[in-house]
A and B are shown apart, each in its own frame.
Chain A
Amino acid sequence: AQSVTQPDIHITVSEGASLELRCNYSYGATPYLFWYVQSPGQGLQLLLKYFSGDTLVQGIKGFEAEFKRSQSSFNLRKPSVHWSDAAEYFCAVGATGGFKTIFGAGTRLFVKA
């Protein structure tokens, strides 16, 4: 069965610093991977997704993620964090031919001035 682990419950970074949020997945075949962001009081919004091809995926708001099959990881990165990036970030995996997407527990990002 597919599963997603986000090892960090919360992370604090300084504004302007780089960011990496970790995500590990478990799935037997090639997974379909997503990163969503949830700002306070709002629903989740897609940042980026990976299906196939180039393992470095660009998303909105300056985010990117890299798929590493050997490490079963799909880490999210941003070179310079802005205060408006403070939110909760969810990694998710979808199964080929299925309908259900499995979400990780989320990582809450705090940005300090």
Chain B
Amino acid sequence: DARVTQTPRHKVTEMGQEVTMRCQPILGHNTVFWYRQTMMQGLELLAYFRNRAPLDDSGMPKDRFSAEMPDATLATLKIQPSEPRDSAVYFCASGLDRSTDTQYFGPGTRLTVL
């Protein structure tokens, strides 16, 4: 049963610290998406990759967020420095080549910045 995995599942950190979230997409999927979910803003697309290349990261605050895919089996989302307003659940999703395809979501990383 192939699924997207995310680590850590929960992270509590203090303001100003660096946070790195990891995602392993489903083997064979070549698109990866990062979303942020909060009560106030709902589900927001932060960035997405196709064949490991970033296609759109316009949803990300550029000064503190960065997303990379070092290889086809790992996607990372980094926040440096973190702020309390970054507290949210961060989801990774993977899929095949087009927006017409199903996205498979990971369980999320719940981030709390104190």
Contact = CB atoms under 8 A, between A and B. Distances in A.
Interface of A: 32, 34, 36, 41-46, 49, 51, 90, 94-101, 103, 105-106
B107 A96 contact: no
Given A90-B43, A103-B43, A106-B42, A98 B91 contact: no
Contacts of A36: 105
A49 B102 CA distance: 8
A95 B42 contact: no
A100 B42 contact: no
A45 B105 contact: yes
Given A51-B100, A101-B99, 4 more contacts: A46-B103, A96-B100, A97-B98, A99-B55
9 contacts: A34-B102, A43-B107, A44-B105, A46-B102, A49-B102, A90-B43, A94-B101, A100-B48, A105-B43
A38 to B, nearest CB: 8
B96 to A, nearest CB: 10
Interface residues of B, number: 23
A87 to B, nearest CB: 13
Nearest to B103: A101
B99 A106 contact: no
Contacts of A95: 99
B4 interface: yes
Interface in B80-114: 91, 93, 97-108
Contacts of A32: 99-100
B56 interface: yes
A16 to B, nearest CB: 29
A90 B102 CA distance: 13
Given A42-B107, A43-B4, A43-B91, A99 B31 contact: yes
